[in-house]
Chain A
Amino acid sequence: MSTAAVTLPQRTHVRTLSWAIPALVILVALPWVAGEYQTILLAYGLVMGIAALGFNLLLGYTGLLSFGHSAYFGVGAYTVALMVKYLGVTSMELFLVGAVGACVLVTAIFGVACVRYTRIFFGILTMALSQVLWSLAFKFFWVTGGTDGLRVPTPTLLGVVAGKGDKIAFLATAYYYYVLAIFVVCVAVMWVIVNSPFGRALQAIRDNEVRAAFVGIQIRKYRWVAFLVSGVFTGLAGALWVPLNGLTTPDIMHWTFSGEIVFMTVLGGFRSFTGPVIGAIVFNYLKTYAVGYTVYWQLLLGVVLVVLVVSLPTGIVGSAERLWARRRSR
């Protein structure tokens, strides 16, 4: 009688590892194969992957479309920049702790207001709140540098590896592996969260709010926790992004950057766990090459988005899974 329950866990775990291990091997080996430029580009992709992973806890698993995740990315990035400016900190670990702390604070407060709403109202409120932070970064130039932004020098990693000397080599080796390690931890942590009883409760809230309440789930409280976790992941990505970019400007707080996070998640497929990560990496390449190819890169990306939504509604990963299933059934 218990066969269904007993066989269920192992199957999922084996399936997960079957894609996770080869992917990890490729990511570890890449700096030896690809050039410095390609490696740094991938580092950007992995950072955005963390941001999209966090974002999708709300969209894919809780059913809430946030249009304000640029705020948390920006809080992470600006926390690092302000720690450099005012405290003279250079340790990457302290940056991450500071960014996470700041994001917990901001998302906890924003979350209380936002989780009272759903659907378009939630989206608009998250967007409005993110625009408040954007305008602060934009106008308080004596603190934030305004549109000039704030420069962030290369940090020290684990207190030993300093980015002195060749910055490009540092970013393409030590920093790449640093980002990769945190990326792996983030993916693992998020995977456990979405497969935890809490993750199940979120999916229940997404599918049927009323019934979820009547199996005893405290809807708003759970949404708030999901909001917090989601924002912190995105903020962590922001903190990792700053040393790569060397500079933080108000652009990353602007709602259009939230739009990019939405875009990459939809591109990869928000119905699957890996979708947002794949989407973020692909989007990063797409945008980089589009910007290099034409000044009308936004038009190009817009066309891609329209074609995508029409032809691949389940995103890259969703469509790939369907193709794979069809090939196997033959």
Chain B
Amino acid sequence: MLLETRGLVKQFGEFRAVDGVAFRVQDGEVLALIGSNGAGKTTLVNLISGLLRPDAGSIHFRGADVTAQSVHERIGAGIARSFQLVNLFDQLSALDNVALSIFSRQGKTRKLWALAEADRPVWQEALEILATFRMDAKAAVPAGGLSQGERKLLDVAVAYALKPKLLFLDEPTSGVSTREKSPIMDTIASVVRSEGISAAIIEHDMDVVFGYSDRIVAMHQGTILADGTPEQIRRDERVLTTLIGTPEAR
């Protein structure tokens, strides 16, 4: 077991966004987290990644209780994430964005007395990561000047550069044209699978969900409604009626 949450609760006023969730991620699996807007998917990811503190319950990562740990410590342990609304350093080039993750991962951002630009291995690795995401041609372009699809990929690349063991991807294809979706997902899936990184993808597009995941977790009103293989989820009556809408959705 890579990650396990026990009885996780997050309340916003009277509203229970996450309500006693027991969520698990196995080593090396790619899972999809589905559910309608407000089901609690992003809140769950925010709790696990450390952006929010839970009101109750605990989070265990590789056997250690990380509930009280800071974002910094969780990243050190191997939990990274991308963002639904692309979250980059827009004035920095694509290469700089990725390089910063590498500097941070290697603990070099603590160095005041060294020139960042002189650290060749870091820039070399940053370029290789961009190449992995087929973004090397855009290395010098400021992140703010990239297309939406490229920004989405760069957001993932920045998280990937932290060498995580578990990567949360919050809607990696939202706001991207239908035509661009599968190349983006192909790239992400091949990177994640070849490196053996566990990934949890929040997604609304059912083609993406069924096409790229080993396991699907469906959330509804802050709780887990169903958890199973794509085949099981496809036949799950509750999921079909509450989330997908019609029994013939797929």
Residues of A at the B interface (CB closer than 8 Å) are 1-2, 4-6, 8-9, 12, 192-193, 195-201, 203-204, 207-208, 210-218, 222, 225, 229
Contact = CB atoms under 8 A, between A and B. Distances in A.
Given A4-B127, A211-B89, A214-B83, 4 more contacts: A2-B120, A4-B140, A197-B114, A216-B162
Given A208-B88, A215-B104, A218-B72, A1 B120 contact: no
A216 B72 contact: yes
A213 B72 contact: yes
Given A2-B127, A4-B127, A5-B127, A200 B103 contact: yes
18 contacts: A9-B117, A12-B117, A192-B114, A196-B112, A196-B115, A197-B108, A197-B110, A197-B119, A203-B89, A204-B89, A211-B83, A211-B89, A213-B72, A214-B75, A214-B81, A216-B104, A217-B104, A222-B109
Nearest to B98: A215
Interface of B: 49, 51, 70-72, 75-76, 80-81, 83, 87-92, 95-96, 99-101, 103-105, 108-120, 123-124, 126-127, 131, 136, 139-140, 158-159, 162
Most B C-beta atoms less than 10 A away, residue of A199, A208, A216: A216
A214 B160 CA distance: 11
A198 B116 CA distance: 8
Nearest to A213: B71
A8 B111 CA distance: 20
Given A197-B103, A198-B110, A201-B100, A211 B117 contact: no
B92 to A, nearest CB: 7
B73 to A, nearest CB: 9
A210 B87 contact: yes
A9 B112 CA distance: 17
Nearest to A9: B117
B87 A5 contact: no
Given A193-B112, A197-B109, A200-B109, A5 B100 contact: no
Nearest to B114: A196
B95 to A, nearest CB: 7
A210 B46 CA distance: 12
A284 B95 CA distance: 40
A207 B104 contact: no
Most A C-beta atoms less than 10 A away, residue of B109, B113, B119, B120: B109
B116 A197 contact: yes
B108 to A, nearest CB: 4
B90 A207 contact: yes
A192 B159 CA distance: 27
Contacts of B51: 210, 214
Contacts of A196: 111-116
Contacts of B159: 214
List 7 A-B pairs, minimum CB-CB distance, nearest first.
A5-B123, A201-B109, A9-B117, A216-B75, A216-B104, A197-B103, A197-B108
Most B C-beta atoms less than 10 A away, residue of A5, A8, A197, A213: A197
Given A5-B127, A193-B112, A200-B100, A216 B76 contact: yes
A30 B90 CA distance: 43
A193 B114 CA distance: 8
A249 B89 CA distance: 44
A37 B113 CA distance: 37
Nearest to B106: A197
A330 B55 CA distance: 62
A200 B117 CA distance: 10
B92 A207 contact: yes
A192 B76 contact: no
Contacts of B120: 2, 5-6
A12 B118 CA distance: 11
Contact of B71 (A201, A214, A222): A214
Contacts of A212: 89
A285 to B, nearest CB: 33
B113 A192 contact: yes
Nearest to A208: B89
A4 B139 contact: yes
Contact of B115 (A2, A9, A213, A216): A9
Contact of B105 (A4, A8, A210, A216): A216
B70 to A, nearest CB: 8
B162 A215 contact: yes
Nearest to B89: A207
